[in-house]
Amino acid sequence: MRTIKPIYLLFSLLILIFTACLKGKFSSPLTIKPGQVDSAFTNYFKKQSGVTAAIGARSLTLSDGRILWLFGKSHLNDFNTTTQKISCMANAHNAAMLFVGNTITTINNGNADFIPSNEANTWFTPLHAYQYYDTIFVFAKKEGGSIQNNKTYIAKFQFPSLQFLSIDSMSLSNTIYGYNIMVDTAVGFCYVYGLKNLNPTGQNDVCLARFPLNNLYSSWTFYATDQWINYAQNAIPITKIPAENFSIRKIRNQFVMITQDAAFMCNQGTDIYSNIASYPYGPFLNYTKIYTIQDKIGNITSATKQPTIHPEFTSNDELLITYSIDGFDPCQTTCNNNEDEPDYHRIKAIRVPLKSINPSM
């Protein structure tokens, strides 16, 4: 024991010295703050003229720096300055605004739809868009009529005037393409995501297609397990998503997808999730809850849907995400004397730290 004890003491001393030296070598565990409401950005949508409330919000940065915003069901010019309320019912099927710095302008012609209908008793809901030189292509879903429409529609607008030109349709194996669009100028392709046999309240298959940037109507190919094929009917879904609640954008060399629970009803569907992938076709991994929507009256949550990524507004390593709320019916009626609170039907904005989506970002 007399010969072992000095060695033991020396060894213990070395351990203490080594441990002390390690202190300060490694940073403390990273604390990531949760997603938070962006009140300043939410206030952009609190207008008393033009688009006073709307569902859905898609953004596109145009080549001259202006930012085009596209909306679905919208309230136009219906804000009552006396009661500070809007009409209970929306009066437009779609709308658009332009952001130029801090100036926001509604570009609908009066209360008319931004994308006009091409058939009686039908209308269009904008999905997403891209620009190619002097033309802006807005993909849209056709609604109304006696049957569900599963064609892909594309409305064309002249740039820079944003004058409506025409609308075309493509039949692509019962898949509505255009929910998310990503332009890759390096390879000359436009990637476009679609939903096959759309179920507005259930699970949907997401398919991916691409076409040459210089010719929307030529040479579409469709992703099918590690290859691009020529026939839409043979496309293989890359993932499933709830209802129409998904958004995919390329953020810092990663493809980020966010989804939301399916139900567009009060007291349902309030959680927003993220996934990441290295390629536009996935696989999408790291399924993470990044935010829980808090819009409530008492314990009743609003009807919410369509979380959307807006990468052009990323700042302080935080991603801007918008979502739509559309009242509290039937859990609680808020319409009185044909008027309702505008904030119950407006776009909401949140900021989510990139590191809560992917710690390596």
Q: Going from the first residue of the chain to its last (361 residues), give the mean pLDDT of each consecutive group of 10, the final group possibly shorter.
A: 43 42 38 81 96 97 97 98 98 97 92 95 97 97 89 97 97 97 92 95 95 91 96 96 96 96 89 96 96 95 96 95 96 96 97 94 86
124 neighbors 144 (Cβ within 8 angstroms): no
The per-residue pLDDT for 262 is 81
Side chain identity at 264, as an amino acid letter?
A: F
Write down the pTM of the prediction: 0.89
The three-state secondary structure class of 168 is strand
190 neighbors 213 (Cβ within 8 angstroms): yes
All structural domains of the chain, each given as residue ranges with its CATH number in brackets, are 40-171 (no CATH), 174-244 (no CATH), 245-361 (2.115.10.20)
How many Cβ atoms are within 10 Å of 111's Cβ, its own excluded?
13
> Which are the contacts of 217, defined by CB distance < 8 A and separation ≥ 6?
168, 170
> Which are the contacts of 137, defined by CB distance < 8 A and separation ≥ 6?
129, 130, 131, 154, 155, 156, 216
The per-residue pLDDT for 107 is 96
The per-residue pLDDT for 111 is 95
The per-residue pLDDT for 13 is 43
The structure tokens listed for 275 are: 């996934």
Distance separating alpha carbons of residues 340 and 67, to the nearest angstrom:
29
Distance separating alpha carbons of residues 327 and 296, to the nearest angstrom:
10
DSSP letter for 21, please.
Answer: H
Side chain identity at 263, as an amino acid letter?
A: A
DSSP string, 145-195: SSS----EEEEEEETTT--EEEEEEE--TTEEEEEEEEEETTTTEEEEEEE
Which of 83, 63, 72, 80 is closest to 108 using CA atoms?
72
> Which are the contacts of 273, defined by CB distance < 8 A and separation ≥ 6?
258, 259, 260, 287, 288, 289, 290
Which of 278, 256, 245, 244 is closest to 353 using CA atoms?
256
The per-residue pLDDT for 297 is 96
The per-residue pLDDT for 5 is 47
**Residue 147, burial from CB neighbour count under 10 angstroms (0-12, 13-18, 19+):** exposed
Consecutive H or E run containing 290: strand 285-292
The structure tokens listed for 1 are: 């024991």
